[in-house]
């Protein structure tokens, strides 16, 4: 159970990172930072952040749902860090090319998935 909490926290951070990545790609970082400072963040931004965090947390839990840990060395194809780094780079390119499409949500999920793999690599 403690590892699940750690993966959930990492997924939350990954969701926020994905949201800021998309803001950067759209050129909205300064507008959003000023809105947060002024206390006037929009409902759309709040909903988007919630969806990004939710997808990233799901992504951070998925590897162990697909391949349950049987030992410390439970590294199968769904725990292959190299494969998901390549996939992340492809999705980053897609999100950069069209940040208003479905790619932004896929990016959030993949950031969460990568956070799980990163934490497993540390263990």
Confidence of residue 1 (pLDDT cuts 50, 70, 90): very low
Q: CA-CA distances (angstroms) from residue 10 to 34, 54, 67, 120?
A: 26, 12, 19, 11
Q: Which domain holds residue 25?
A: 2-122
3-state secondary structure 83-94: HHHHHHHHHHHH
Domain count, the chain: 1
Alpha carbon 71 to its chain centroid, in Å, reads: 25
- Alpha-carbon gap, residue 81 to 25, rounded angstroms: 25
Phi and psi, residue 38, nearest 5°: -80, -5
Q: What is the pLDDT of residues 25-79, one digit of tens each?
A: 888 888 888 888 888 888 888 898 999 999 999 999 988 888 876 666 666 777 7
In this prediction the pTM is 0.82
Give 78's DSSP letter.
Answer: G
Q: Which residues contact 66 (CB under 8 A, 6 or more apart)?
A: 78
pLDDT for position 54: 95
């Amino acid at each position: 159970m403690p590892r699940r909490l750690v993966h959930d926290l990492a997924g939350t951070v990954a969701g926020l990172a994905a949201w800021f990545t998309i803001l950067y790609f759209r050129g909205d970082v300064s507008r959003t930072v000023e809105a947060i400072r002024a206390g006037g963040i929009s409902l759309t931004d709040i909903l988007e952040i919630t969806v990004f965090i939710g997808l990233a947390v799901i992504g951070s839990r998925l590897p162990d749902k697909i391949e349950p840990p049987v030992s410390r060395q439970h590294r199968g194809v769904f725990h292959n860090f190299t494969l998901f780094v390549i996939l992340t780079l492809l999705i980053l390119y897609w999100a950069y090319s069209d940040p208003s499409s479905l790619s932004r949500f896929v990016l959030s999920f993949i950031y969460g998935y990568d956070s799980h793999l990163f934490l497993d690599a540390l263990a």
